[in-house]
Amino acid sequence: MNPLQNALAQLAKAAKLAKLAPSVETAVGGPMRTIEVKIPLLGDDGQIRYYFGYRVQHNDARGPFKGGLRFHPAVDLDEVKALAFWMTIKTAVIGIPMGGAKGGIVVDPKKLSIPELERLSRGYVRAMRDFIGPDKDIPAPDVNTTPQIMAWMTDEYCQLTGGNNLGVITGKPLEYGGSLGRTAATGQGGYYILEQVVKKLKLPKSKVTIAVQGFGNVGYYFAKLAHEAGYKIVGLADSQGAIYDERGLNPEKVLVWKEQSGTLSTYQGGKHLSSQELLEQKCTVLVPAAMENVIDSENAKKIKASVILELANGPIAFAADKILNDRGILVVPDVLANSGGVTVSYFEWVQNLTNDYWTEAAVLAKLKPMMVESWEQIWRLSVKLKTDLRTAAFVLALERIVGAMKVRGMI
Please say whether the beta carbons of 142 and 72 come within 8 A.
no
Q: Is 140 helix (H, G, I), strand (E, B) or coil?
A: strand
Catalytic residue among 102, 224, 232, 258: 102
CA distances from 224 to 26, 49, 54, 295 (A): 41, 40, 33, 24
CB 238 within 8 A of CB 266: no
β-strand partners of 133: 137
* C-beta of residue 72 within 8 angstroms of C-beta of residue 353: no
Q: How far apart are CA 152 and CA 236, in angstroms?
A: 32
Q: Are strands 271-273 and 241-244 parallel, antiparallel or unpaired?
A: antiparallel
Pick the closest to residue 341 from 82, 66, 38, 23 (CA basis).
66
Give the other-Cβ count within 10 Å of 274's Cβ: 12
Task: List 376's β-bridge partners, or say none.
Answer: none
102 noted as active-site residue: yes
Dist. CA 194–CA 287, nearest whole Å: 10
Beta strands in 64-221 (DSSP E): 65-72, 100-106, 137-141, 209-213
Q: Distance between CA atoms of 363 and 349, rounded to whole angstroms?
A: 12
Separation between Cα atoms, residue 115 and residue 1, nearest integer Å: 38
Contacts of residue 239, defined as CB under 8 A and 6 or more positions apart, other chains included, come to 275, 290
Angle between helices 389-408 and 22-29 in degrees, nearest 10: 90
The residues carrying an active-site annotation are 102
